[in-house]
């Protein structure tokens, strides 16, 4: 068995990997919007394998805050993998130093078929990916430009917005050109990281909506980069009008994760507490069907703990050594579940008893998951996971 495992490991050597000791080994977090305290940095370094630092992080400009946070985390845990969040559509660009240069180059901005500039949801002009100079500028930002010492701090990019989706106002030809330019830009970014520090570009990513030009859920983009994220496990497009799960779509999501993992790629599953249907309420939290989501920090703390079993069971159903799990309330992770806050319990929603199943001995999977109807069962050396898509709250994990 040890020999077989060695062969399995070598097959995935190009991807980021974790061990099977506990599920904690495979934890990923994408968070930002405020700087980490020393205590929070210690918690992150001891509980996550990979982190992605978001747009608009900290009181200063995003690049400076991300690089400073990366340095703080690596001083505690040199093996920590730190990713730089960087959006293909310039989300949050106004928070970056790079915004100033970008706004001086209107020739880099995308125009629709009518000749008007196309803005993202934050009002920033989107980048014309067919412009070679624009692509080179975008690629240069995460590592601070040629020769920057930041290459010692940043291990890759979480590239938001990869794939075949186009902004409104682009006809078929312009959409195709935009998508092809996006692909070239991601390839260039991955080539830069490969040459500088063997870093990874993880695209966000797996798209389960039905109006894509192709039906492979954007897995074709994996020819451009070293990994992909599926942000929507059992939420949004996978929730039916009556509040139940679209089991067919969730099953297709699980298949997409397995397919990407088998391609020797890093895969991140974005899992959440509850069946989200809208991303933001006035309180900054997503909503559940029938407006049934918690309405207080205490309520979200309980939800994060009780809904964790379903999320972890979903992850374990398709877990491989190159598949990672994200679980948090939403993207303001410091207050929404990424770190605990024992010194000020009302300041965050993370359970004080931080997901105890993550610390239990897991062991390697004994086989792929089996399926009966919409129930998936998978056995590990020290646990058995049951994922129930008909009744998520009846999902379970038993430990030997």
Q: What pLDDT, on a 0 to 100 scale, did the predictor assign at position 211?
A: 65
Question: What mean pLDDT is predicted for residues 105-130?
Answer: 97
Q: What pLDDT, on a 0 to 100 scale, did the predictor assign at position 96?
A: 97
Domain boundaries, the chain: 22-360
Count of Cβ atoms closer than 10 Å to residue 84 Cβ: 26
pLDDT tens-digit readout, 138-182: 999 999 987 788 889 999 999 999 999 999 999 999 999 999 999
In which element (H, E) is residue 50 found? strand 50-53
Question: Could you give the CA distance from residue 3 to residue 138 in angstroms, rounded to a whole number?
Answer: 44
Characterize the bridge pairing of strands 227-230 and 266-271.
parallel
pLDDT tens-digit readout, 280-313: 888 889 999 999 999 999 999 999 999 999 999 9
Q: What pLDDT, on a 0 to 100 scale, did the predictor assign at position 14?
A: 74
| Rg (the chain; Cα; Å) | 21
pLDDT at 7 over 60: no
> CA angle at residue 85 from 81 to 87, to 5 degrees?
150
Nearest partner of 255 among 194, 314, 304, judged by Cα: 314
Q: What pLDDT, on a 0 to 100 scale, did the predictor assign at position 213?
A: 63
CA 17 to chain CA centroid, nearest Å: 15
Count of Cβ atoms closer than 10 Å to residue 116 Cβ: 10
CATH number for the 22-360 domain, one of 1.20.120.80, 2.130.10.10, 2.40.110.10, 3.20.20.70?
Answer: 3.20.20.70
pLDDT tens-digit readout, 201-254: 999 999 998 766 667 999 999 999 999 999 999 999 999 999 999 999 999 999
Q: What pLDDT, on a 0 to 100 scale, did the predictor assign at position 5?
A: 30
Nearest partner of 266 among 14, 5, 31, judged by Cα: 14
pLDDT tens-digit readout, 326-369: 999 998 889 999 999 988 888 999 998 999 999 999 999 999 99
Q: What pLDDT, on a 0 to 100 scale, did the predictor assign at position 212?
A: 67
Contacts of 304 (CB under 8 A, 6+ apart): 273, 329, 337, 349, 350, 351
Q: What pLDDT, on a 0 to 100 scale, did the predictor assign at position 68?
A: 96
- pTM of the predicted model as reported, rounded to 2 decimal places: 0.94
Q: Are 154 and 83 in contact (CB under 8 A)?
A: yes
Between 4 and 261, where is the model more confident? 261
pLDDT at 3 over 80: no
Give the whole-number percent of the chain exceeding pLDDT 90. Answer: 87
Question: Could you give the CA distance from residue 73 to residue 41 in angstroms, rounded to a whole number?
Answer: 6
pLDDT at 259 over 60: yes
Query: Which pairs count as long-range contacts for 36-45, CB under 8 Å and 24+ apart, including other chains?
Result: 36/69, 36/72, 36/73, 36/334, 36/339, 38/72, 39/343, 40/334, 40/339, 41/69, 41/72, 41/73, 41/76, 42/76, 43/339, 43/340, 44/73, 44/338, 44/339, 45/73, 45/76, 45/77, 45/80
Question: Could you give the CA distance from residue 333 to residue 292 in angstroms, rounded to a whole number?
Answer: 21
Question: Could you give the CA distance from residue 156 to residue 66 in angstroms, rounded to a whole number?
Answer: 12
């Amino acid at each position: 068995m040890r020999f077989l495992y060695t062969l399995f490991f070598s097959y995935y050597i190009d991807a980021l990997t974790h061990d099977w000791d506990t599920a904690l080994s495979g934890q990923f977090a994408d968070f930002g919007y405020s700087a980490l305290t020393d205590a929070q940095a210690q918690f992150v370094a001891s509980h996550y394998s990979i982190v992605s630092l978001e747009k608009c992080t900290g009181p200063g400009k995003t690049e400076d805050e991300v690089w400073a946070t990366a340095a703080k985390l690596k001083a505690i845990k040199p093996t920590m993998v730190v990713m730089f969040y960087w959006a293909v559509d310039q989300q949050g660009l106004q928070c970056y130093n790079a915004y100033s240069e970008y706004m001086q180059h209107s020739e880099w901005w995308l125009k629709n078929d009518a000749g008007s500039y196309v803005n993202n949801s934050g009002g920033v002009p989107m980048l014309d990916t067919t412009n070679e100079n624009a692509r080179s500028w975008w690629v240069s930002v995460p590592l601070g430009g040629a020769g920057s010492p930041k290459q010692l701090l940043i291990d890759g990019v979480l590239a938001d917005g990869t794939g075949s989706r186009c902004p409104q106002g682009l006809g078929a030809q312009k959409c195709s050109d935009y998508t092809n330019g996006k692909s070239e830009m991601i390839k260039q970014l991955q080539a830069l990281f490969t040459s500088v520090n063997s870093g990874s570009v993880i695209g966000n990513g797996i798209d389960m909506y039905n109006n894509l030009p192709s039906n492979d859920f954007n897995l074709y983009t994996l020819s451009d980069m070293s990994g992909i994220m599926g942000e929507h496990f059992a939420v949004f497009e996978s929730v039916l009008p009556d509040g139940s799960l679209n089991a067919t779509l969730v099953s297709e999501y699980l298949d997409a994760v397995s397919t990407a993992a088998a391609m020797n790629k890093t895969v991140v599953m974005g899992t959440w507490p509850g069946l989200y249907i809208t991303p933001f309420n006035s309180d900054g939290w997503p909503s559940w069907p029938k407006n049934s989501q918690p309405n207080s920090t205490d309520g979200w703390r309980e939800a994060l703990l009780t809904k964790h079993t379903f999320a972890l069971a979903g992850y374990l159903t398709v877990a491989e050594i190159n598949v990672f799990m994200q679980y948090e309330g939403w993207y303001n992770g410091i207050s929404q579940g990424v770190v605990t806050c024992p010194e000020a319990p009302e300041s965050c929603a993370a359970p004080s008893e931080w997901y105890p199943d993550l610390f239990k001995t897991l062991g390697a999977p004994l086989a792929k998951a089996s399926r009966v109807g919409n129930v998936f069962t998978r056995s590990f050396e020290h646990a058995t996971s049951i994922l129930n898509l008909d009744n998520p709250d009846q999902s379970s994990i038993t430990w030997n």
